[in-house]
Amino acid sequence: MAAQLTVRSERVVTAEGLRPAAVQIRDGTIVAVGDFDDVADGGDVVDAGTDVVAPGLVDIHVHVNEPGRTEWEGFATATRAAAAGGVTTIVDMPLNCIPPTVSVEALDRKRAAARDQCHVDVGFWAGAVPGNLDALADLHAAGVFGFKAFLVDPGVDEFRHLTADQLEDTMSRLAALDALTVVHAEDAEVIAAEARVWDRRDPRSYRAYLRSRPDDAECRAVEQVAGMVRRTGARTHVLHLSSAMALEPLRTASDIGDPLTAETCPHYLTLEAASIPDGATAYKCAPPIRGTVNRDRLWAALADGTLGAVASDHSPCPPELKHADTGDFRRAWGGIASLQVGLAVTWTSARRRGHTPVHLARWMSTGPAGIVGLSGKGVLAPGYDADICVWDPDASWVIDGAALEHRHPVTPYQGMRVHGRVTATFLRGRLVFERGAVVGPPSGRLLARRSA
């Protein structure tokens, strides 16, 4: 059957690399990726010129916060920001919403809140917390993409962290289900010891905050998680890795074939500690932004495949919770809003290091889709959803938080000049963003993990 729509460009991310090509689409699915002039008679044609045509970004680490804390961020605003940033699929985290997604009933409430609001496709993580071991199988059957656990206090009363023994018990249970465990890996004992010292330091000092969450906290936790993967066989993913010291246990796990993956985030690849002023709480996140040598090592780990994805860890809050008036890092919420600008800030650093749009698609589309099992996403190839990000890698612009689609304007990227501007986003072949504006009513689907 002939294509209904063809999207073509001189620069398309294909299995053969970046080349002139035409992506043919019918009924929301890619039916062919041919030569530039391979256009079906009678179908519509979008000619992107020299803009990059790439698979839509897949962001597997997004805190939407609805229901319960919709004033922080909700599905309508988060998915508008996603569409504007070339992100066509997000997977929503189970905490910061009320109730947290730790039971099927809570998952049903979250899906009800999201329904008819989403401009991109949305999947859901569930939580692994003390006391919900018996709920894991039902949540898995209900289609969540995996289970998030913390080894340290996440900072909200509704979602408690697991001890190391509890996490290993949980991973054993999830291994039997062939379910994915995703872990915030910081060692609680190290953090607690540093917190007692931090109480005697300047609360406005970024260096004091950085010392309160040292590399050792991440390294110990990732080593623990790697050992649990070895003992249980549970498929496991380490979230938002910030410390290059923690790369070695990941490499060891890979060398022996253990199912352990990891991601990092745009802020760890772009920002660096020495440039963060005291009192600048917009930069607060956990784990923290570290130094330039550390940043270089994270880029090297992306290049060699030790890190398999870049995800935003989009975690916004109302401006007053950042305590910008006092600059108090102890009291400020730790989270960075970056869903809409992840492509641009990552590309700005990537291009300086000699990387290409093909690498960006691997880290922000194909890699994350593979980690969570989104088999129809992240690749421009026949049979895949026609989720497409069209972007100009040479366009330069200045980030203005107030102009973004996120609910709140607070961003550490305020005033930063970046390269890479999204010009159009297609969701299953339907235009949802074009040249600065979200297009049409919400058409995103609520996704469920496919059974094996």
pLDDT of residue 452: 40
Angle 30-305-94 from CA coordinates, rounded to 5°: 70
pLDDT of residue 201: 79
Q: Given this structure, which CATH class describes domain 55-377+393-419?
A: alpha beta
Q: Which pair of tokens denotes residue 303? A: 């290049």
pLDDT of residue 1: 62
Spell out the residues 6+ positions from residue 331 whose beta carbon is closer than 8 angstroms to its own. 203, 323
Which among 93, 54, 79 is positioned nearest to 445, based on CA atoms? 79
The Cα 390–Cα 61 span in angstroms is 22
Spell out the residues 6+ positions from residue 381 whose beta carbon is closer than 8 angstroms to its own. 14, 15, 30, 33
pLDDT of residue 393: 98
- Within 85-187, where are the H helices? 104-114, 136-141, 164-177
Domain edges within the chain:
55-377+393-419
Output the 3-class SS for 375-427: CCCCCCCCCCECCEEEEEEEEEEECCHHHCCCCCCCCCCCCCEEEEEEEEEEE
Q: How many CA atoms lie within 13 A of 451 on its CB side?
A: 5
Q: What is the pLDDT along the chain (452 residues), one digit of tens a residue?
A: 677 999 999 999 999 999 999 999 999 999 999 999 988 777 899 999 999 999 999 999 999 999 999 999 999 999 999 999 999 999 999 999 999 999 999 999 999 999 999 999 999 999 999 999 999 999 999 999 999 999 999 999 999 999 999 999 999 999 999 999 999 999 999 999 988 877 677 999 999 999 999 999 999 999 999 999 999 999 999 999 999 999 999 999 999 999 999 999 999 999 999 999 999 999 999 999 999 999 999 999 999 999 999 999 999 999 999 999 999 999 999 999 999 999 999 999 999 999 999 999 999 999 999 999 999 999 999 999 999 999 999 999 999 999 999 999 999 999 999 999 999 999 999 999 998 999 999 999 999 997 54
Residue 118: count of CB within 10 angstroms of its CB: 24
pLDDT of residue 226: 98
DSSP bridge pairs for 391:
52, 422
Which among 447, 276, 423 is positioned nearest to 374, based on CA atoms? 447
Dihedral of the alpha carbons of 423, 427, 430, 434, in degrees to the nearest 10: -20
